[in-house]
């Protein structure tokens, strides 16, 4: 019996709670970061994760223990290394990484889906959480994970309730001329709804829940609050005459790094960071 207590470094860490770490459970290799988040939320520490060192800086929370083995690129993990780890289970995201058959040749492979054409990543994350819990013998943890998620979202919502906040436009600037704007099909959309805000962008999105819009379109969302994901609008843009002429852009808030193709933990992290940013912008 091995109980771990994780230090609460950020609000997201709350989600992990005091879940049981299955040190003696199945040896799981996870090939995608959104699914790594889900495993960690369930208290399952993977034996190996693709691009593990990059997960630690780019997804950040929940924290990935340093003992977790790195199996190489997420798109092309090292199959020989995975085989040599003799895993009990491989977890992969649909549409991503090596073909199912090549992984099945090594170990039973669980294929989970989050970002799909139906643009319901939240529902699919819940299903993925349940299936992952079943496969890892951690099914009992799933309700607690969801309860902690609800608490995190409810706290963010309560902090914003008093403000009567304007609609938000969530933008990840690709360069100084266009940005990916998140909407239906993104977990950020669900987060925005769950904390009582409105997303100013209701237009079409791609399978991953965003659309790429030029400055001319961005400037049209007058009255919305522009929320930029890290690193925020490029300096050259913020200095430009057009930017200065657009009142809608003036009180942009910039959030710390959030993994845009993430899972439930990234969603909670986004909600908390958004509430922080809006509160301190007042």
Partner 1 sequence: MTPRSLFAAALFAAAAALFAVSATRLLPPAEWLSALLAPPPSDVSAMIAHYTLFPRVAVALAAGAALALSGLILQIALDNPLAEPSTTGVSAGAVLALALFGPAGLGGASQSLVALAGGLTAVGFTLALASRGGMKPATIVIAGLVLSFAASAATTLIALFNHEWMRSLFLWSSGSLRQNDWSATSNLVALLAVSWLAAAGLVRAFTLAALRDAGAAALGGDPKTIRLTGLALAAGLAALTTAEVGAIAFVGLAAPHLARAVGARTVGARLLWTPIYGAGLLWLTDEMVKLIPLDLPTGAATGLLGAPLLMALAARMRRPSLTLAPLSAPPRRRRPQWGALLVAALAALAVALVVERTADGWTLATLDQAFDYRVPRSLAAFGAGMAVAVAGALLQRMTGNAMASPDMIGVSAGAALGFLALLYVAPMAGAGAQLVAGGLGAGVAAVWALKGVGRGAPPEQPLLLGVGVASAFTGVVSFLLASGDPRMALAVTWLSGSTYQADASRALVIIVVAAGGLAAALALARPLQLLPLGSVARSSGLRVGQAQALTLALSSVLTAAATLVIGPLSFVGLIAPHAARSAGCRSPASLLAGSALIGGALLAAADWIGRVALFPYEVPAGVIAMLLGGAAALVALSR
67 is a contact residue toward partner 1 (CB under 8 A):
no
- Measured from the CB of residue 203, what is the shortest distance to partner 1 in angstroms? 10
223 is a contact residue toward partner 1 (CB under 8 A):
no
Sheet holding 48-49, edge to edge: 69-70, 48-49, 28-30, 89-93, 109-112
Phi, psi of 101 (to 5 degrees): -65, -35
Of 35-43, 60-68, 139-147, 175-183, the window that binds partner 1 (rule: CB under 8 A) is: 175-183
Residue from 1, 23, 67, 80 touching partner 1 (CB under 8 A): that is 80
- Measured from the CB of residue 134, what is the shortest distance to partner 1 in angstroms? 23
- Measured from the CB of residue 99, what is the shortest distance to partner 1 in angstroms? 7
76 is a contact residue toward partner 1 (CB under 8 A):
yes
39 vs 151: CA distance, rounded Å? 19
Cα–Cα distances in angstroms (integers) from residue 55 to residues 190, 234, 262, in the given order: 23, 24, 11
- Measured from the CB of residue 265, what is the shortest distance to partner 1 in angstroms? 17
- Measured from the CB of residue 61, what is the shortest distance to partner 1 in angstroms? 18
Is the CB of 47 or the CB of 273 nearer to partner 1?
47
Instruction: List contacts with partner 1 (CB under 8 A).
Output: 54, 69-81, 83-85, 94-99, 101, 105, 173-178, 180, 206-208, 210, 212-216, 219-220, 222, 231-237, 239-243, 245-246, 260-261
């Amino acid at each position: 019996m091995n109980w771990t207590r994780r230090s609460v470094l950020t609000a997201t860490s709350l989600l992990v709670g005091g879940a049981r770490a299955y040190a003696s459970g199945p040896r799981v290799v996870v090939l995608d970061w959104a699914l790594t988040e889900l495993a960690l939320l369930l208290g399952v520490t993977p034996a190996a994760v693709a691009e593990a060192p990059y997960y630690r800086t780019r997804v950040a929370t929940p924290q990935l223990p340093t003992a977790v083995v790195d199996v190489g690129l997420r798109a092309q993990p090292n199959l020989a290394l995975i085989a040599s780890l003799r895993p009990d289970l491989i977890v992969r995201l649909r549409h991503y990484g090596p073909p199912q058959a090549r992984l099945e040749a090594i170990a039973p492979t669980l294929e989970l889906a989050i970002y799909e054409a139906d643009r319901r990543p939240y529902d699919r994350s819940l299903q993925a959480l349940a299936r992952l819990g079943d496969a890892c013998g951690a099914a009992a943890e799933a309700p607690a994970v969801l309860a902690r998620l609800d608490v995190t979202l409810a706290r963010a919502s309560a902090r914003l309730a008093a403000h009567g906040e304007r609609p938000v436009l969530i933008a990840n600037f690709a360069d100084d001329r266009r940005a990916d704007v998140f909407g239906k099909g993104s977990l950020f959309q669900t987060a925005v709804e769950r904390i009582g805000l409105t997303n100013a962008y209701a237009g079409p999105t791609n399978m991953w829940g965003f659309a790429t819009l030029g400055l001319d379109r961005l400037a049209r969302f007058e009255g919305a609050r522009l929320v930029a994901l890290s690193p925020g609008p490029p300096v050259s843009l913020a200095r430009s005459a057009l930017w200065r002429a657009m009142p809608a852009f003036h009180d942009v808030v910039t959030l710390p790094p959030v993994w845009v193709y993430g899972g439930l933990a990234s969603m909670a992290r986004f909600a908390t960071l958004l509430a922080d940013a809006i509160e301190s912008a007042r």
